[in-house]
Structure 1
Amino acid sequence: MAITGDPERRGPEGLGTRLRHVLEILDGDVARFLADIGLDDYRPRYSPVVRALLARGPLPIRDLAAEIGVTHSAASQTVAQMNRAGLVALEPGADARQRIVSLSEKTRDLLPLIEAEWTATTEATEALEAELPYSLRALLDAIMEALARKPFRDRIGETVAARELR
């Protein structure tokens, strides 16, 4: 999927729309590459989970969510997809509400291929960033830091337009 049209005349898309579009392009291309190398059931969103479980071992979903920086709901949805694909195993935790996530044998068998894809994706990311006027990763880090200092909701609320709504 290509970005079309003159950047100055693309329309009123906001920051969120553009960020989602870039993410769709990146994830779509990574997913197609994964299929090219025989990892049809593996999605780009699984990599942070696999990396966290490799580094920390089996984890409750709540801890996994914190480790990869997503909501409990997002982690739970990803884990459910991975479980259906046979990529993780779920065990009951200390209480009935807790589930412990671990890598399956299927994923462990696929690790050499998954890790090779990670290396290729990292190299492609570095090549893309070399074409940009600044580091996309550094920019995204700076955005997250700025939003941690002052949430976007607060920034919206401080605008003249928002004050006129009250």
Structure 2
Amino acid sequence: MTAHPDRQAVGTLLRHVLELLDGDVAKVYEEQGLAEYRPRFSPAVRALLADGPLSIGDLAAAIGVTHSAASQTAAQMARAGVVAHTPDPRDARRRLLTLTPKAHALLPLIHAEWAATAAAMTELDAELTTPLAQVLTELAEALCRRPFRDRIAAAAARPDGAAGTDNSGTR
């Protein structure tokens, strides 16, 4: 039986759920003969398929992550032989990410896994009171409207003693 994180430790709980989901998707990739392919590659592959060669900055914007996160993912993808860095023909100072022939050869397997994962997520959502993507989208939108740091500062400033408790949910 898997231990469950403290429900008040929301950050820990989110990481735990992500580990459960990504871990099983990674196992499926491995079983399909795609041991070098990681779940975190999929958003980048989708963006590169849709928009062609992209700089790290453009990739980060396309998939909604920081430049650093996109750079780390691109480095892992390059080590796995899924992307290559090529000079930008319009600006020699910039490098673009392109999918390699190896990536293109793997696309039928990757597309099949994406479809199976989407179907499995639909099945999982049916077991939940609210679909996971809906909750996460609402959460992201709420945090864009008012960042968590602002919420923490407001809670700490309240005279009701909220600042003295450890209910930050980010442990």
Q: Report the TM-score, using the length of structure 2 for normalisation.
A: 0.87
Q: Pairwise CA RMSD of aligned residues?
A: 1.9
Q: Which structure's residues are more often helix, by fraction? A: 1
- Paired with 1:162 and 1:103, the residues of 2 have a C-alpha distance of 52
Q: What per-residue deviation string (whole Å, max 9, x for no partner) do you get for residues 100-156 of structure 1?
A: 001000000000000000000000000000011111110100001100100000000
Work out whether 1:57 is the aligned partner of 2:56: no
Matched residues, percent identical? 55
Shift in Å, 1:160: 3.3
Corresponding position: 1:136 with 2:135: no
Q: Normalized against structure 1, the TM-score is what?
A: 0.89
Give the 3-state SS of the residue equivalent to 1:159 in structure 2.
helix
- Residue 21 (structure 1) aligns with: 16
Q: Does 1:111 align with 2:107?
A: yes
Which one of 137, 140, 154 corresponds to residue 158 of structure 1?
154
Distance 1:42 1:85 in 2: 7
Q: Identify the structure with bigger relative contact order (alpha carbons < 8 Å, sequence gap 6+).
A: 2
Count residues in correspondence. 159
Q: How far did 1:3 drift?
A: 3.8
Specify the SS of the correspondent of 1:91.
Answer: strand
Q: Distance in 2 between matches of 1:28 and 1:57?
A: 29
Whether contact under 8 Å (1:89, 1:102) holds in the other structure is: yes
Residues 59 and 102 of structure 1 are in contact (CA less than 8 Å); yes or no, is this contact kept in structure 2?
yes
Query: Which ranges of structure 1 fall in alignment gaps of 5 or more residues?
Result: none
Secondary structure of 2:96's counterpart equals strand
Q: 1:91 aligns with which of 83, 86, 100?
A: 86
- Partner of residue 28, structure 2: 33
Alignment partners' CA distance in 1, 2:7 and 2:29: 34
Q: What code does the residue aligned with 1:65 have? A: A
Partner of 1:145: 141
Structure 1 pair 63/162, CA: closer, same or farther in 2 (3 Å)? farther
C-alpha distance in 2 between matches for 1:32 and 1:89? 25
In structure 2, C-alpha distance between the alignment counterparts of 1:60 and 1:12, rounded to whole Å = 39
The aligned residue for residue 38 of structure 2 is 43
